[in-house]
Structure 1
């Protein structure tokens, strides 16, 4: 079952934004001060131009020329000052944005690592990957670029509006009244944008999940001839993502033309109304020119804001998805209790996925130290679910799964690794050195112990690596094949040294030759440990000391191979069907 990670609400996103400002308040305060100074400097030049117009109109002559020259020089000076202040305010804004982006990335990683293993396992890989990559990147880009530029534009716009109203309130109000069309268009857009961009992000996650799962399971898709079904699923996801993208594109095609037209209206209004006022003697020509220049300047911050408003909506939706991890259930605090022994006890265990009907129904099972137990049954009987509960990856809805009297799911990760380890057909090689890939299992292991673990699982290829343990394992440098990656996983088990291993068809997807080599390595790892084999093939169960037969979430038979055959029950029927009898 796939779980859906939560999305943060507007209030949470606002609190997160305020938290980022408080975390670097002095840089933010400096950016604010520089923006105010730059905006004030931008107001001086139009006012000086108005003075020039009035001076020339009142007293043309040599005295006026000298005054105009001095005023023009002042315009040059204040323009240079404005450019320097605006440039440095952007620089400080970028510094603030980079710091905030770094904190968001670190917090996302911390929250991801704090998620319970069951939550990560049940969450669509594409969703978590999209939040950690494209969503975090979009938020970082907004903090680095959009926020500083929009903040500068807002400051300039407010000062320009104030200046227009100051030089002549009536004329300024008449010009600014035409901005109501921008307000209407923007409100229309904002009411729809958040929902549209959240839908676009969700459809992108779904598409990433379909593509990732198809690529990672390519061999299974090919073996089961599921190509057409997977192609159909991919086409559906692509069409959904395309529709969501077109929806946001349509919103922009309505907003941007409306803003482009509306940004010109204040200038037109001031020139028309100012001409009438000038003819009536209500205002001077310099006042009209100054107001027109201010409103002409206003179009620049308006354009900046509108250009970034789409990015801010998209990044706001991404921020909500990133911050949504804060609302995800956190892993419970591990217990400090040490297991008294190696005995595993399953008592009256029931389990359900996502609060649906139980898939396990009152299981009781005891695994003694050193015992080899096989769990068999038809597909969907609950075998793998039981294996996850035994490994502490999931927690039973009711009942308990304990090792040495301590709930397995309550053990701290470093203690759990020494108790129970689950081996599946899935394995992961981190893009790091061979040494660090092994030290994940035991942080303080020496090089001699690392080599010994590799030798135990017959990983002879490790001795031939160009830089030995310091060789970086990655698709770009040195890629391990399936058998080598499985041997690396087994070497980690040797280093962790657990007393119990749970095998869930660990060699099922390997080719026959590689599987034989890996099984020989696996035999060396199993020596002296308790083994619980989730057997999808009955041949695996033949040599087990006991066999637990599951059906519809219950253990219906328990005994040795010979005992179960003698009973003539479900296991005997499965065995005869397996051998074609």
Structure 2
């Protein structure tokens, strides 16, 4: 078959948009098998009620076949009333069980979809923090939104309907074989056309639908990045470039949409041709068999009706199997997170003390491209260490390593002698907390947002935390106080207020070691200075690693580490480094000027 060629892949798009893995066929099969096992009772019930409905639907052809047989034999006393009564009874039974099939199928689909959503969410939240940070927003959002939407119809309809269709076809073929065994062979006539057409289609469909889904993810990523960085794009006059990128991504996606539509435009005529061949074969072979006396006219009538009844289940199976091609891609993208190996953790490992050390650390976001080069640092308990240096030097990366977000490629980061990368994430978070420039206000009350850090906190604790970060004044001014709804659709918080909530969570979490990555960057300098002074009381006695471009933070620190090109080039107190007249002194004089 010759037709529309598949669009060419854009390797750059794949490289930049597909960060989280796509599940292998083995992973998908394993997950689907487990999902079916969870709901095996519902599957058995669905198959049972469907079998009763199909058997009831076959009463009509048998009654009509007997009626034709009686007429052909010249019978004069035909029991029409009994035939009509039996047909009516079978119709009532069929109607009732068809309703049961639809109801049970819908319930099964909804439960499986709910399980899939919950499994994906639980597995995503359990991913290593470094993986989530590198994943970006486009690919992850497209999976939880677009792929779930595509799966919704498949789970609600395709899986139950496929089960129904397979049982339906099996029962019809069995009934045809029992009624008129010679006619059962006629079912084989359209099989070559169906097999050739389906092999052609299903050989191309999975990759086409996978590419279509990846193309949509690329569109989503491009649009999300453009919206998130709207002000930067406008400031640097990159609007035209971003528009061209979005148009290119949309064009590539729509090309794959057209290609998958072309594939379906070939498959559907093949299916229609199969139905025509099937009925024609039954009538031709059946007529010859009747003339030869191998079967009766009544058997031919029943067989032809049963054969014609196969049109709907065959079409159903192929239609919903086609739908499952789309669903299979979405499932592969959703269960792909199961292939991410969890970071090795040993429940027995616990810190013995509060000393933070980095020894010979190397780290890179891509293979063979290190951001940090042989970095070593000692952080004494209760001390304040400031990481300063030019943008892109590796300060934030080093801070995330010290907070246990990333694991070093070589070397080791330890807390109290225990490697952070080998400790369970919950245990690391109990000792070390990271507050960076990014923050999030969850939809819900102000109280709920704060309780995320410590679920058992009282209102007194919450107000104390807000007071510690200078947020109690505006919080008390809210109409409903702690019960005020914030986030999307609620009270609109300013960026500074949202950052104060993040810092209040830090106070409630009460870790002994803190990594502050420009945590006050969204506040104006005066407010930031005031907040840092207030935080000083809260942070007293804790180990603090602060990353900031505002050098007054460095001035107040016990130790200053200057990071340049992924290396620590200077280490000492403010006075020592200013006297050394090195890189830090240059930064200090430039900042003061």
Query: TM-score, normalised to structure 1's length?
Result: 0.91
Question: Which residues in structure 2 correspond to 1:87-106 (within 5 Å)?
Answer: 87-106=99-118
Aligned to 2:70: 55
Distance change >3 Å, CA 395–CA 3, structure 1 → 2? farther
Question: Which residues in structure 2 correspond to 1:131-170 (within 5 Å)?
Answer: 131-170=143-182
Alpha-carbon offset, residue 329 of structure 1: 1.5
Question: Which residues in structure 2 correspond to 1:111-510 (within 5 Å)?
Answer: 111-333=123-345, 335=347, 338-459=350-471, 460-508=473-521, 510=522
Contact 2:20 2:337 (C-alpha < 8 Å) held by counterparts: yes
Instruction: After superposition, give the CA deviation of every residue in 1:343-364 in whole Å (9 maximum; x if it has no partner).
Output: 3222211112243232211111
Q: Distance in 1 between matches of 2:48 and 2:155?
A: 18
Q: Distance in 2 between matches of 1:536 and 1:188?
A: 61
Q: Distance in 1 between matches of 2:528 and 2:585?
A: 29
Contact 1:486 1:518 (C-alpha < 8 Å) held by counterparts: no
Secondary structure of 1:531's match? strand
Instruction: After superposition, give the CA deviation of every residue in 1:297-334 in whole Å (9 maximum; x if it has no partner).
Output: 11111222233222111112212222222211113335
Distance change >3 Å, CA 124–CA 246, structure 1 → 2? farther
Q: Distance in 1 between matches of 2:169 and 2:329?
A: 26
Unaligned 5+ runs, structure 2:
1-15
Aligned to 1:523: 533
Instruction: After superposition, give the CA deviation of every residue in 1:222-256 in whole Å (9 maximum; x if it has no partner).
Output: 34443333333322332232233223222212111
Contact 2:363 2:370 (C-alpha < 8 Å) held by counterparts: yes
Of 165-174 and 253-262, the range deviating more from structure 2? 165-174
Which of 68, 71, 93 in structure 2 is aligned with 1:81?
A: 93
Aligned to 2:58: 43
Contact 1:490 1:522 (C-alpha < 8 Å) held by counterparts: no
Question: Which residues in structure 2 correspond to 1:3-18 (within 5 Å)?
Answer: 4-18=19-33
Contact 2:468 2:534 (C-alpha < 8 Å) held by counterparts: yes
Distance change >3 Å, CA 413–CA 274, structure 1 → 2? closer
Aligned-pair RMSD on alpha carbons? 2.6
Contact 1:501 1:526 (C-alpha < 8 Å) held by counterparts: no
Q: Distance in 2 between matches of 1:224 and 1:491?
A: 35
Contact 2:17 2:218 (C-alpha < 8 Å) held by counterparts: no
Distance change >3 Å, CA 413–CA 449, structure 1 → 2? farther
Secondary structure of 1:329's match? coil
Q: Does 1:29 align with 2:39?
A: no
Contact 2:63 2:87 (C-alpha < 8 Å) held by counterparts: yes
Aligned to 2:3: none
Alpha-carbon offset, residue 211 of structure 1: 2.3
Instruction: After superposition, give the CA deviation of every residue in 1:337-387 in whole Å (9 maximum; x if it has no partner).
Output: 554443322221111224323221111112223433322223332111101
Contact 2:357 2:379 (C-alpha < 8 Å) held by counterparts: yes
Alpha-carbon offset, residue 120 of structure 1: 1.1
Alpha-carbon offset, residue 411 of structure 1: 4.6
Secondary structure of 1:490's match? helix
Distance change >3 Å, CA 560–CA 87, structure 1 → 2? same
Alpha-carbon offset, residue 554 of structure 1: 1.1
Query: TM-score, normalised to structure 2's length?
Result: 0.89
Number of residue pairs the alignment of both structures matches? 574
Q: Distance in 2 between matches of 1:148 and 1:530?
A: 57
Alpha-carbon offset, residue 18 of structure 1: 2.2
Q: Distance in 1 between matches of 2:250 and 2:57?
A: 48
Contact 1:35 1:85 (C-alpha < 8 Å) held by counterparts: yes
Aligned to 2:9: none
Q: Distance in 2 between matches of 1:519 and 1:82?
A: 77
Contact 1:430 1:474 (C-alpha < 8 Å) held by counterparts: yes
Of 421-430 and 491-500, the range deviating more from structure 2? 491-500
Contact 2:343 2:421 (C-alpha < 8 Å) held by counterparts: no
Alpha-carbon offset, residue 127 of structure 1: 2.0
Q: Distance in 2 between matches of 1:380 and 1:198?
A: 36
Secondary structure of 1:189's match? helix
